[in-house]
A and B are shown apart, each in its own frame.
Chain A
Amino acid sequence: MNTTQTTRTLLLIGSLLLLLTGCGTSSDPTSSSGGTPWGVNPVPTPGARSRGADGMGASDTAGWRGRADAAMWIDAGSAAADTGSTSDAGASDGASGDAGATPEDDAFTGGNTGLSQAGAQDFGLFRQILEQGQIPAPETIDDLGFFAEHKFDYPDPTCGQNMCMHALLGEMGNLITGSTCTLIQIGLNTPIKVDSLKRPPLHLVLAIDTSNSMVGQPLTYVKQGLSQMLDNLQAEDHVTLVTFSDTAKTVFEHLGVGDKTKMQKAVLSLTAGAGTHLYDGLFTAFAKASKYAGKNLESRVVLLSDGQPTTGIASSAKYVSLAKGYAVQGIGITTIGVGTNFSIDILRDIAEVGAGNFYFLDKPAAVKEVFTEEVKTFLVPIALDVKMDVSIGDAWVIREGYGTHGWKGKSGGGSVHIPSLFLAGRLKSDTPLPTTPGTGRRGGGGAILIEAMPFPGVKPKSSVVGTVKLSWQHPQTGAIHTQTSTIDKQAAKIQIADGGVFTNGTVEKGFVMLNIFVGFQQASQLAVDGDPGAAIGTLLSLKGAVQSWLDDKKQAGATPDPDIVDDLIYVDLFLTNLKKLKNQTPVSKPPEPWPKD
């Protein structure tokens, strides 16, 4: 390398330092001007129908497609007028509804139910490894699954559509090193009540891994779960059972509920052995689902496996393309992981593209949770082909998006694509959880968090940080709907002691949740890197700050958030496991989780 190259390199370093100042380098220049209230205001609502406006409504060819001729399955209750616009003026944010609202919309029916994205729905694998006294690797936890075990109370969904968007804002020092972070939180909810959800008849194709690695507890979980699932079938439902080890085998095909005894007997007689031709099992299951697909019917594959193919096609990309191809035809897939020697990638990825959810059964309680409670919601999506376009003002840059795998950053903002959304079963964030740690948390719904940073040296022209445009497709009618929210710093609802400000309390929880997730990931990575002392330092900082946050809430008379309290149990468990390691490096100050460059 010559001197010119070195100079260029140093200049580049300088440029990076200038552009990416990190989460904590500076707070917003306007926020110090006497406590300017922050909030999110609705933007003026377009009066005319604008389906597909701004390219947001245009549906691409990828993603799940429901059949427009399927029966209506949502209890619309008392239909409200389709005004084409709503304003959560009384709430903390505002989503302007579109224009594309159509008569089949199920308007506000009094419910306030969260929506969860297709993909991981828990962090059960990470939890299981901690409970076994071990240190989980960083890839065992992802933001989508972790966030999904957190319930957020968003304002009532009065936008006039089946799905309402809430764009919220918050700023607070991070809980690991204290540097300041600014977050945009996007939440989605629906007026549809879980109990009033009426689904169309279902053809459920169960693809069960019966390979050698499923011997023992994994297969026991599977049998227990399937028995519970069969008990919850409805009169017009049908079931096909495909098992796979070295090859796939169809045990029974398209049996009705009248044959439930036969089905139960077949499930209970499953045995495990031999290799895992996962691709053969999945391909056969999709082929069976396709064979019976038809009008007024929901076809879905449910795959239960440890996710480790030992023969046949191994490329996870081919599994993804298979699931994606059938999703376009309206056949979704839900994946459920079991086993202690579990491989997460294939199951998580195909659920995400296949209009379905991914769960991991980490303990007996999870079997009941998934097969008797979650099953009410994970079989039919509420929205498809969900797209969000985030535009940010010149005074800001976006650094990262969390809580979705569909985030793509670009100049001036970014975009999110979510193949499908499902009802999230939990109703209120302060509802106590079961006493056993790590239970009762699935169905939280989660949130999308976008990290924004003030652009150094650029003074904002207004209090508007940015705009979020949403479009989504109705699973049954195919209609495209749009909404828009403006993120504005004008109306602070909550200011906290250390100078943090939030649109409302749910953003504060989002902030804490993100810090815990980042702390877990950082501690795992540091342990992998042979520096458990820094991992302990990270978790100690996190623990102290989170406990302090909970104590403040308690002092203020609020119920300590059950999800965060449960998270803290796993922070403690992680610390305990790290401390057991011999030959420790010294406990050290945690690295900056959001470094400056």
Chain B
Amino acid sequence: MMTHIPRPRGRLMTLLLHGALLTTVATLLSGCPLIVDWPPDDSSPRAQPFPDVDTDTPNEPWDADQSATGDVWQRQASQFPPVKGALVIGNVTGQTRVVRLRALRSTVEMDCDAIVQSPQLALRPEHFAPAQSWLVASGRAVPVMPRGKGACSAVLIDGTGLPRRLLFWHHTALQVASIPSTVAGAQSGGRFVAIAASEGEAVWGAHIALFPAPSLFDPVAPEGCAMPSQEQDLSWTALPSGNQTLMEVVTAPDGCSAMDLLTDLGVQRVYVCVPPGMLPFSAGDDVYIAGLATGHNVLPVTGVELLSDSGHIRMGRGTDIVYFGKGDAKIAVTQGCPALHDEVGTYARALSVTVQEPGKAAFQLDNGATLKLAGGGRLHLVRAIERLVWDTAVAASLVGNRHIESVWSKP
């Protein structure tokens, strides 16, 4: 049975870097995800009290805070403890700056090697968690820790007067180290990303790990390359295994069917969503129901199989296409289709299945296509993608990068 996927919950943490002290002033976003919860943490120490701010002041109340730059430049770097990080962001603007770091959500996974050339095309703002905000005094540097699973990290950065940018690096290239927390000490060593001033505006200094902000839109998909919509995905509620009598079946226009099964526990309603016309049963059928664990190439799938005198259907999702009878099925990246995002932000390449039945010509089955088989059955490829970036909180979680949903049925 599918379970409700909870909305990802952000973690709210404001970190202040004032003078020499790093201070956590508020923690943890919890509770109703639609409300920004702010549990006060009165026990947290402060580096120094913020000036009382009269928020009713009509004109530019933020000007009052520009004094909080400290005396970093007049002090020795050794007076500030180093920080652990892969990189540091240092403020050389002469003014205190707010910097916001958005780490990759912990549920997001990436194929680092596949996206390293242009990570800004693969990642989307929704892949990132709510920010940690730092108040960085001029002359100080704030650490950036590795984020994300696997071999690489991605962090979205912006701040007061600073445009959004993407930090992306391989962990082998920038391992975590102890780095000075002052600009003076951190600038050498290739781990320093500068907030500089140019013509009165704050700008990001150049760095090998700094990329443009993730793009909001994909280029127009070439013909036949669009990502399949999740509206067409297979779906089913928990099905009782064994022999059951189908009392009634009602099918909606989108292909989802309500099936009332007479079981040992009485009449039980289950739902099965397959492409319209592929469920071969009618009321009165005795239906045998079993689970599926492998597909045509004996690779893992999760699925179900239903069989009656009226027909037979197999549906499954996993790293393989469902078994369809005699013949070969080779799965490969669809030629000529670039990687694209689907509606939940999964960045993926389309896959095709080349079906070779005995004595027949090979047929390339693409996303959303159906093949009539020699034995009278039909094989439909709902979705076949190779995922490069995906969020396991909103996209089906599978072992491996391949995600294939397919259904075979025969009246």
Contact = CB atoms under 8 A, between A and B. Distances in A.
A409 B160 contact: no
Interface in A79-100: none
B190 to A, nearest CB: 12
A344 B34 contact: yes
B65 A135 contact: no
B217 A5 contact: no
Considering residues A309, A329, A583, A592, which has the most beta carbons from chain B within 10 angstroms of its beta carbon? A583
B137 to A, nearest CB: 12
Nearest to A276: B4
A410 interface: yes
A134 B32 CA distance: 11
B34 A588 contact: no
Contacts of A314: 2-5
Given A9-B211, A129-B35, A540 B61 contact: yes
Interface residues of A, number: 77
A321 B62 contact: no
B231 interface: yes
Given A318-B273, A410-B220, A582 B40 contact: yes
A490 to B, nearest CB: 32
Contacts of A325: 252-254
Interface in A326-353: 326, 328-329, 340-344
Interface string A569-585: 00000010001011111
Contacts of A274: none
Given A318-B235, A328-B253, A410-B220, A583 B25 contact: yes
Contacts of A410: 220
Interface stretch (B7-15, B365-373, B401-409): B7-15
Nearest to A135: B36
Nearest to B44: A583
Interface string B28-49: 0100111111101110101000
A532 B16 CA distance: 13
Interface string B186-223: 00000000000000000000101111110001001000
A180 to B, nearest CB: 17
A313 B133 contact: no
A531 B4 contact: no
A137 B40 contact: no
A286 B257 CA distance: 12
A528 interface: yes
Nearest to A592: B161
B132 interface: yes
Contacts of A583: 14, 25-26, 40-41, 44, 46
Interface in A559-597: 575, 579, 581-589, 591-592, 595-597
A138 B68 CA distance: 30
B273 A531 contact: no
A6 interface: yes
B62 A136 contact: no
Interface stretch (B52-60, B293-301, B321-329, B350-358): B52-60
14 contacts: A5-B208, A10-B206, A309-B4, A311-B4, A313-B237, A315-B230, A318-B235, A321-B254, A342-B34, A529-B132, A530-B26, A530-B132, A583-B46, A597-B213
Given A283-B252, A321-B231, 18 more contacts: A9-B212, A129-B34, A134-B36, A134-B37, A135-B36, A311-B4, A317-B343, A321-B254, A321-B273, A326-B253, A328-B253, A524-B36, A531-B133, A533-B62, A583-B14, A584-B53, A586-B62, A587-B62
Interface of B: 1-5, 7, 10, 12-16, 25-26, 29, 32-38, 40-42, 44, 46, 50-51, 53, 55, 57-62, 64-65, 68, 98, 100, 102, 116-117, 130-133, 135, 158, 160-161, 163-164, 169, 173, 206, 208-213, 217, 220, 229-233, 235, 237, 250, 252-254, 256, 258, 269, 271, 273, 343
